[in-house]
């Protein structure tokens, strides 16, 4: 069943009105017809609305709400991924898979060893951020998330540390020279629902000594994700998988 997001103004009584790019996808790509089922999540509303299409035009799709149920697809704690800017299209892959695993916000970070360069502001950065946000929305639809995670414009390292301090009670920085993954496992199992969790991932060249020192001074805890060195696109998925295991797998 197709799953789409809609703004709060889309829900009126027992009807949902879908507009924007999803109309073309429903009408011309999937060639759906009146009577076909549809799942809708209204932003800001934790319910999933099970609907049936009643009318399709070039501008909108009207759906009748048949039932609603509480959505339970979110982790019990918000998770903030601070990802050192990687080269190529790796960021797109990281965003897609992180959204599938339950991340709440993704913050690209300009770091000392980042190969990719994106300046503050500017048309190129704006286009990149908009594309990343679209990828997050598509991944949220595919994985039936209750929310569309936010992808921020790239931050500098000091900005990322300050934002993590503001948003998360628990902050980790995986570091290849750190020892003791068993300790991290025990800490994750003891996390309390509702606590904000931040993780800082270095780019291809890793985290520099100065960045590690600054993070530790800010109270960010260095941890290891295992005995092997992980690529920058693998590390966040390992960490998020540990959270899924701790919070959702009985």
The CATH number for 27's domain is: 2.40.240.20
Of 39, 70, 101, the residue at which a domain comes to its end is 70
Query: Does residue 197 share a domain with residue 85?
Result: yes
Containing structural domain, residue 51: 3-70
For the ranges 60-64, 182-186, 226-230, which has the lowest average pLDDT?
Answer: 182-186
Query: Does residue 244 share a domain with residue 170?
Result: yes
Query: CA-to-CA distance for 217 and 50, rounded, in angstroms?
Result: 49
Mean pLDDT score, 54-65: 93
Query: Does residue 94 share a domain with residue 124?
Result: yes
Distant-in-sequence, close-in-space partners of 176: CB < 8 Å, separation ≥ 6: 206, 224, 229
Of 46, 70, 94, the residue at which a domain comes to its end is 70
Q: Provide the CA 183 distance to its chain's centre, in angstroms.
A: 26
Query: Does residue 65 share a domain with residue 91?
Result: no
CA atoms within 13 A on the CB side of 163: 21
Query: Does residue 95 share a domain with residue 174?
Result: yes
Model-level pTM?
A: 0.84
Query: Does residue 49 share a domain with residue 88?
Result: no
Query: Does residue 149 share a domain with residue 234?
Result: yes
Mean pLDDT score, 150-177: 94
Query: Using H for helix, E for strand and C for coil, what is the string for the chain?
Result: CCEEEECHHHEECCEEEEECHHHHHHHHHCCCCCCCEEEEEECCCCEEEEEEEEEECCCEEEEEEEEEEECCCCCCCCEEEEEECCCCCHHHHHHHHHHHCCCCEEEEEECCCCCCCCCCCCHHHHHHHHHHHHHHHHHHHHCCCCCCCEECCCEEHHHHHHHHHHHCCEEEEECCCCCCHHHHHHHHHCCCCCCCEEEEECCCCCCCHHHHHHHHHCCCEEECCCCCCCCCCCHHHHHHHHHHHHHHCC
Query: Does residue 26 share a domain with residue 149?
Result: no
Of 44, 70, 96, the residue at which a domain comes to its end is 70
Quickly state the pLDDT bin for 181 (edges 50, 70, 90).
Answer: low
pLDDT at 115: 85
CATH number where 166 lies: 3.40.1280.10
Query: Does residue 163 share a domain with residue 41?
Result: no
Query: Does residue 218 share a domain with residue 99?
Result: yes
Q: Domain total for the chain?
A: 2
CA 160 to each of CA 4, 104, 148, 178: distance values in angstroms, whole numbers, following the listed order: 31, 15, 21, 21
Query: Does residue 18 share a domain with residue 109?
Result: no
Query: Does residue 63 share a domain with residue 83?
Result: no
Residue 127 predicted with pLDDT over 60: yes
């Amino acid at each position: 069943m197709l799953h789409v997001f809609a703004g709060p103004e889309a829900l009126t009584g027992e009807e949902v009105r879908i507009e924007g790019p999803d109309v073309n996808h429903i009408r011309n790509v999937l060639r759906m017809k009146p009577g076909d089922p549809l799942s809708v999540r209204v932003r800001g509303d934790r319910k999933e609305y099970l609907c049936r299409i009643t009318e399709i035009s070039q501008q909108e799709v009207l759906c009748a709400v048949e039932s609603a149920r509480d959505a339970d697809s979110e982790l019990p704690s918000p998770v903030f991924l601070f990802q050192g800017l990687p080269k190529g299209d790796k960021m797109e892959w990281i965003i897609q898979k992180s959204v599938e695993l339950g991340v709440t916000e993704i913050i690209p970070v300009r770091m000392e060893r980042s190969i990719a360069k994106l300046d503050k502001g500017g048309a190129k950065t704006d286009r990149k951020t908009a594309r990343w946000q679209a990828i997050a929305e598509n991944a949220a639809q595919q994985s039936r998330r209750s929310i569309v995670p936010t992808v921020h414009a790239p931050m500098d390292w000091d900005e990322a540390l300050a934002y993590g301090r503001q948003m998360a009670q628990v902050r980790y920085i995986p570091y290849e020279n750190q020892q003791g993954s068993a300790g991290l496992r025990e800490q994750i199992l003891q996390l309390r629902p509702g606590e904000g969790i931040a993780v800082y991932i270095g780019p291809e060249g890793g985290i520099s000594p100065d960045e590690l020192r600054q993070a530790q001074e800010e109270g960010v805890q260095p941890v290891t994700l295992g005995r092997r060195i992980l690529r920058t696109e693998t590390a966040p998925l390992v960490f998020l998988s540990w959270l899924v295991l701790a919070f959702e797998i009985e």
